[in-house]
Amino acid sequence: MTFSSLPLSLRRFDKMWNRIFFCGLVVCLISLTDQTQGQKTTLVVQGTDCTQIKTLSPRATSGVYVIQPAGVRSPFKVYCEMLADGGWTVFQRRTGAEVLFNRKWAVYKQGFGHLRKDHWLGLSKVFALTKGRERSSTMRVDLWDFEGGTAFAEYRDFRLGTEKEAYKLNVGAYRGNAGDAIRGKYAGIDQNGFGFSTTDKDNDGCSPCIFGDIAENTCSFSEGGGGWWYSRCGSASLNGDWHPAGEHIGWASTGRPGKDLPHTRPERAA
């Protein structure tokens, strides 16, 4: 059987963001040139990440900012969700089918979509945000289903491996009410520690994977062409083909949306 037929409760995905904790208190004011539709505009780096911006400017509102993580040569734009407990760096958002997520490896590496709308920030940028930090990062996934239910999942110690490691996913302890779909309910489908997979770069561990009378060679194909950290396809798939009643986007878990949404707090370095 495929992922979509697993006997678990699928939570349709609407938006995903990642919390990055600040690594310094100095905002680097660096000017750069941005070529946009033939016009040059000067951008100013506003911080190393969204959390630092919120820390230094508590009244900062949600929107697009220019950041430059430590050790990164080129600044880039991100969308920051400025919540009461700090700034979160959004690296994926899906609210409909306007932006297609059935992309190749090179596109997933660089990013695509519109920062204020549906988008994928880019594996290289997420790697830059999580590498070599004095304070660890937390990934938060917020889910909405089509019946109005909500749920969330948080993972401490979030980071990605290098490109040579296929941007391997690394997450620590889970908390939330959506269920730990990254590790999954069944043995052998833990996505933690697996590299990112696309239709042209397969790292899902299937050669093939047998589900009943179905053999899957590439999970990305079976999930509508979307890239993800598949492990024998696994229980989480948030970049698959979008359809209101589709089977390629889900967070398979035993959690119940809308039940207990506790306040989140920054993870502090030991």
What is the 8-class DSSP label of residue 229?
-
* Ranges of the chain with pLDDT below 50: 1-36, 254-270
* Cα–Cα distance measured from residue 18 to residue 40, given in angstroms and rounded to the nearest whole number: 30
* Cα–Cα distance measured from residue 235 to residue 254, given in angstroms and rounded to the nearest whole number: 11
* Cα–Cα distance measured from residue 259 to residue 62, given in angstroms and rounded to the nearest whole number: 26
pLDDT of 133-185, one tens digit each?
666 889 998 888 777 788 889 999 999 999 999 999 999 999 998 889 888 87
What pTM did the predictor assign? 0.78
DSSP string, 164-226: GGTS-EE---EEESS--TTT-SSTT---TTPPPBBTTB--S--SSEEETTEEES-HHHHTTT-
Tell me what pLDDT residue 193 has: 86
9-186, CATH topology level: Gamma Fibrinogen; Chain A, domain 1 (3.90.215)
